[in-house]
């Protein structure tokens, strides 16, 4: 049986593409006792409120028709954001050489956050240049990798 997020991604794919966007991620989470279904979009040049509105209207109708989720939920559509998390192998390849922040589950050398430059991705392991030193983090060590905006 498919996950809710996979079903919604399939339902939303054409509507997102028609708006000239890419579906970055689908999230179905419970927060403060309420379920949230979130679509995150990306687009060359950036996603604006009109993109989100158009996708929201069309996908909302598709969700009403297909009714893949039992019970109530809040539906949101937004940009993936400048500091988006990297999850899939393609995300890492696309942003190779970019500034990232890697967070670990357990401290390494007394810290859990490693700002640096993404230099590699090998079978789930992430390589980050931190201050001129390349550090390798195995998949089971990594809590989060996200892009980092530098000013």
Distances (CA, A) of 4 to 8, 10, 29, 91, 137: 6, 10, 10, 22, 30
Could you tell me the domains of the chain?
Answer: 4-79 (3.30.300.70), 89-147 (2.30.30.100)
pTM: 0.84
Question: What does each of the 151 residues of the chain score in pLDDT, given as a tens digit?
Answer: 679 999 999 999 999 999 999 999 999 999 999 999 999 999 999 999 999 999 999 999 999 999 999 999 999 999 999 999 999 999 999 999 999 999 999 999 999 999 999 999 998 999 999 999 999 999 999 999 999 998 8
Gap between the Cα atoms of 24 and 85, Å rounded: 10
Strand (E) or helix (H) holding 116: strand 111-122
Gap between the Cα atoms of 144 and 105, Å rounded: 9
Structure tokens at 21: 């966007």
Position of tokens 């089971």? 140
DSSP state for residue 132 in the 8-state scheme: T
CA-CA-CA-CA torsion sign (60, 63, 64, 65): positive
């Amino acid at each position: 049986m498919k996950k809710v997020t996979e079903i919604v991604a399939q339902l939303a794919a054409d509507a997102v593409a028609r708006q000239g966007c890419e579906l970055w991620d689908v999230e179905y989470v419970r927060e403060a006792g309420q379920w949230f279904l979130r679509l995150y979009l990306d687009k060359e040049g950036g996603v604006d409120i009109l993109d989100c509105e158009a996708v929201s209207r069309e996908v909302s109708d598709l969700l009403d028709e297909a009714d893949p989720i039992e019970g109530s939920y809040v539906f949101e559509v937004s940009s993936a954001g400048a500091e988006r998390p990297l999850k899939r192998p393609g995300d890492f390849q696309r942003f190779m050489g970019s500034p990232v922040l890697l967070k670990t589950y357990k401290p390494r050398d007394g810290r859990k956050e490693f700002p640096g430059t993404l230099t590699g991705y090998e079978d789930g392991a992430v390589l980050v240049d931190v201050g001129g030193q390349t550090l390798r983090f195995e998949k089971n060590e990594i809590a989060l990798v996200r892009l980092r905006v530098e000013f």
